[in-house]
A and B are shown apart, each in its own frame.
Chain A
Amino acid sequence: MTNLLDAANIRGVYYTPTGEEVVGVDNVSIQMAEGEVLGLAGESGSGKSTLGSIISLTARPPLIVEHGSLAVDGKVQDLSDMASIPRVWRGAVVSMLPQGAMNSVSPTMRIRDLVFDVMRAHDGKIKKDEALDRARDRLVTLGLPTRALDAYPHQLSGGMKQRVVTIISTLLNPRLLIADEPTSALDVSSQKALIEMLLEMLEKEIMSGVIFVTHDLPVLRTVATRIAVMYQGKVVESGPTNTIVDDPEHPYTRALLSSVLTPEPKYAKIRIEGMRAFDRESFKAPEVKH
């Protein structure tokens, strides 16, 4: 069976105005099966968002993809030649939910106008009613109030806004959704509601896979099927969620897990040293695949 996603040998480099190279993603390969949620974890600057933007075909200068290929359902595209990738891939094959998307909705536009704009960008001939019907059906399917379409962004709560932009980003039924820190700005109850909605969308096959980029390991424990941990542009460990969380082998994964604080009795009244207790040199250990 072909994998849903086969991304191979991706190298992404940022060029600074002075001509220096900063490697964002260094020869990374990842695979995903149908129906999976892949969690990309790591600290700030580890390259997880960069990898997300390359796979979602939204990489722009100063980020240059030097080499790499992206295969969805066995159809291969060369990532170093972004211009030759058909327009339809962006949005309909892979779709990006960028970090802070809920705050980038125009405050003077109703949600329904945004929906129409998004749909029209992909199908110039679509009628406004058609676009809205599609969004309305989607909201009903997922149990959200359809009046959200008539609202201005400030009339929606943060959690609702994030769920609505998630729905808009999947209106074209992409095969793969890349969500960059979708829950980081939400309080716990809205976080949970978004996670439930994403899993329901997978169940209803609105999309067939999700790459969930976050530094929040407890969230990944709840939502991800598999986790890939990144450090300095490389994947250092990948495997099923339970293995990564309960039996990590790479020193960096262990260090990352050691700085997690959740309300469980084992974290009260003890002192955690976090990353400091680990030797950064040890993080250069070879990649572990489970």
Chain B
Amino acid sequence: MDALFTASNLTKTFGSGKDAVTAVNDVSFALQQGQITTIVGESGSGKSTIARMVLGLLPITSGKLTFDGKDVTNPTGAARKAYWADVQAVFQDPFSAFNQFFTVKTLLYRSLRLLHESVGQDRLEEALGHVGMDLSVLDRYPHQLSGGQRQRVMIARALMLRPKLMIADEATSMLDASLRVNILNVLTDLRDELDMTVLFITHDIGQACYLADQVLVMEHGIMVEQGTVDDVIFNPQHEYTRKLVADVPKLHQEIELHIGDHEAAARDLA
């Protein structure tokens, strides 16, 4: 299998001197063609920073990125625009990604400008079809759509460009649990039907477990573990992954709670 995208020794440092914060530290990974890779980690672990670097939205401090065999480290100008035709993203909050005064039609037609006129309309219908929506949605305003619908329009927008790589940064976190599964299924369908490569970023291990072919675990900017769902989630080797999995509330197993543990600790100290 070919790696569509690789990152080697990726590092991002914010600030300089004594205020420097290394948000991502020497991280290497590869995204295989037609697979869904998820990055999991707590808040502040650097997972969104990785997404922004992969997208070319944030200059990287050191390391190397390749896409389809070409070097895409810090692309600029025309190279970056060409890169964005192949790599598209969906973000956490679909409401803030819309202009409130534009209908869905205006929003989608704007993205169509990047395409040749002759294919535009077909692509639009096809993309809405992939996310299970029809053309009636075009005349709606964002506030007339539910959260799930808004997020599906955002996915359709990204799909119109037929990207080879789709990045979803916490794309389902603001949605109701009952809508979440639908969006995740849209992503697995895209993988199975269009052989799309997906990088899915989440703090929710349950979603990672449902969706992923490959899981990467981040802790404080360092990638502590990577591998398949079976290896990483059901047989974690690193202590951090173990704790992360153990702390997730489960439906059919009790998780261990330590109520009033600090009292025992205080007594021990005394």
Interface residues of A (CB under 8 A from B): 43-44, 142-143, 158, 187-189, 191-192, 195-196, 199-200, 203, 215-219, 221-222, 245-246, 255-257, 259-269, 271-276
Contact = CB atoms under 8 A, between A and B. Distances in A.
A199 B256 CA distance: 13
Contacts of A267: 206, 209-210
Interface in B232-254: 233-234, 243-245, 247-254
B253 A188 contact: no
Contact of A196 (B147, B176, B253, B259): B259
Contacts of A263: 205-206, 208-209, 233-234, 245, 248, 250
A203 B260 contact: yes
Contacts of A142: 262
Contact of B209 (A44, A216, A259, A261): A261
Contact of A260 (B177, B245, B258): B177
Contacts, number: 138
Interface stretch (B14-22, B94-102, B180-188): B180-188
Given A191-B247, A261-B184, 19 more contacts: A43-B176, A143-B266, A188-B247, A191-B249, A192-B249, A199-B257, A215-B178, A219-B249, A221-B250, A222-B255, A245-B252, A255-B178, A261-B177, A261-B210, A262-B248, A264-B252, A268-B234, A273-B181, A274-B180
Contact of B181 (A143, A195, A221, A272): A272
A218 B176 contact: no
B177 A217 contact: yes
A259 B206 contact: no
Nearest to B184: A261
Interface residues of B, number: 46
B122 interface: no
A192 B255 contact: yes
Contacts of A218: 206, 248-251
A271 B185 CA distance: 8
Given A143-B266, A221-B251, A261 B257 contact: no
B207 interface: yes
A268 B251 contact: no
Contact of A192 (B185, B204, B247): B247
A43 B178 contact: yes
A276 B230 CA distance: 28
Contacts of A188: 42, 203, 205, 244, 247-249
